[in-house]
Structure 1
Amino acid sequence: MNIVAINGSTSKPSRTGDVVTILADAVSRRLSAPVDRVDLADAAPVLFRALKSDGLDAEGRAIIDKVETADVLIVASPVYRASYTGALKHLFDLVDYRLFSGKIVVLAATGGTPLHGLMIDHQLRPLFAFFNTIVVPTSIYATVADFVDHRLVNDAVAARVERVAEEVQALAGRLGPAAQPDGKPVRPFGKVRKDNRDLVHP
């Protein structure tokens, strides 16, 4: 199982990054798989060299390939002007949307007050509905008050993190690749086909 965690914050350090770390650890334990990570504080300058996917250089292409080939995505963003960050949007403007059907996605956000928590449902969920992904029911939202020195201290949020990990584990168990008689998967988990060929970049 290939897990990739995306920190949509362009600040370092950031509470969003802390939430990503906590979620990644919980999901990794449940699936017994390592988590690769994309921090847009580092990746955004690389990705903004290109306005379209065919303009990506090798460094940018490697970042996009990492996201496109994930089976499970953990996606988190600070709430910025009532939405997710422009850097996160640009990343998903560069991916091949056809490769996301069936991927499992965990959503998380951080904000200054509880009033911004609906950004996840009003902004992030529609984005991943477009990509035809499977978004886990439980999402994570944390505020400034939930942290002390970048350490999560809200037990209710921590409990939701464990619930998210359980939901990912359950979905992964149901949605794994179908097996042929020889035991080999019919197709890689999370990929789609067109004209009987895997979609790949030229």
Structure 2
Amino acid sequence: MSKKLVVGLSGNLTRPSKTNAFVSHIACELASRAGAASSVFDIEDLGPSFPPARQLADLDPAARAIVELVLGADVLVVGSPTFKGSYTGLFKHFFDLLDPSSLRGKPIILAATGGGERHSLIVEHQLRPLFGFFEAQTMPTAIYASDKDFANGVLVSEAVLARARQAVAEACRVAGAPNRVGLAA
């Protein structure tokens, strides 16, 4: 049996990125606890062929390879910074290119970042309906982190870290992966 794969996708367009750090933290913890491999990408990694693409065939080979990793993942960790109360436009564009059945049943951890608490419902009001359309299996625990939850780009909030651990445990159960508690910080 091949090793399970956890793929993280951050809807951020700039680097360094708190959203990428957040998604990476969750994906790495999940991979560690499940004995899986992990890869994390930003929307920016899709390169110049991505913004004008109208279908997957319009993407260059490097961008298509990222899409194939996302589609082939055993578990996804998706996150977006909050932009005007929702996910970024290019984050949505990525999912617009996918076949509606391509994520059916796929376990997904939802995460988002934002400047303050007033955007915390992005995960429930924006991300969960998006992945509901795809009939993905979103974890019950979604995670939001605001600027105050980070120090020097590193997630430091114990409350947010605890929610991340809870979502990771849920994903391990759903994916049928061992939950090697104690291996990840």
Regarding TM over 0.5, the answer is yes
Q: What pairs up with 1:72-83 in 2 under 5 angstroms?
A: 72-83=75-86
Show the counterpart of 1:71: 74
Q: What pairs up with 1:170-181 in 2 under 5 angstroms?
A: 170-173=173-176
Show the counterpart of 2:37: 34
Q: CA deviation at 1:48?
A: 1.4
Contact 2:24 2:40 in 1 (8 A): no
Show the counterpart of 1:25: 28
Number of aligned residues = 174
Q: What pairs up with 1:49-60 in 2 under 5 angstroms?
A: 49-60=52-63
Taking the aligned partners of 1:118 and 1:111, their CA distance within structure 2 comes to 10
Contact 1:12 1:41 in 2 (8 A): no
Contact 1:136 1:164 in 2 (8 A): yes
Contact 1:101 1:133 in 2 (8 A): yes
Contact 1:53 1:94 in 2 (8 A): yes
Deviation per CA, 1:132-181: give whole Å up to 9, x if none: 1100010110011111101222111111111111111111129xxxxxxx
Q: What pairs up with 1:187-198 in 2 under 5 angstroms?
A: none
Contact 2:46 2:62 in 1 (8 A): no
Q: Decide which structure has the larger Cα Rg and report it.
A: 1
Show the counterpart of 1:46: 49
Q: CA deviation at 1:44?
A: 5.1
SS in 2 for 1:157: helix
Change (3 A) 1:23 1:101: same
What letter matches 1:141 in structure 2?
Answer: Y
Show the counterpart of 1:200: none
Q: What pairs up with 1:83-162 in 2 under 5 angstroms?
A: 83-162=86-165
Taking the aligned partners of 1:154 and 1:57, their CA distance within structure 2 comes to 39
What letter matches 1:102 in structure 2?
Answer: G
SS in 2 for 1:99: coil
Mapped pair 1:6 → 2:12: no
Deviation per CA, 1:43-90: give whole Å up to 9, x if none: 253311412223223222212212111121100000001110111111
Q: Which segment drifts farther, 104-113 or 151-160?
A: 151-160
Taking the aligned partners of 2:20 and 2:49, their CA distance within structure 1 comes to 19
Q: TM-score, normalised by structure 2?
A: 0.89
Show the counterpart of 1:167: 170
Contact 1:8 1:78 in 2 (8 A): yes
Q: TM-score, normalised by structure 1?
A: 0.82
Taking the aligned partners of 2:47 and 2:123, their CA distance within structure 1 comes to 21
User: What RMSD in Å do the two structures reach over aligned CA positions?
Assistant: 1.4
SS in 1 for 2:113: strand
Gaps of at least 5 residues in structure 2 are 178-185
Q: What fraction of aligned residue pairs are identical, expressed as a percent?
A: 41
Show the counterpart of 1:181: none
Gaps of at least 5 residues in structure 1 are 175-202
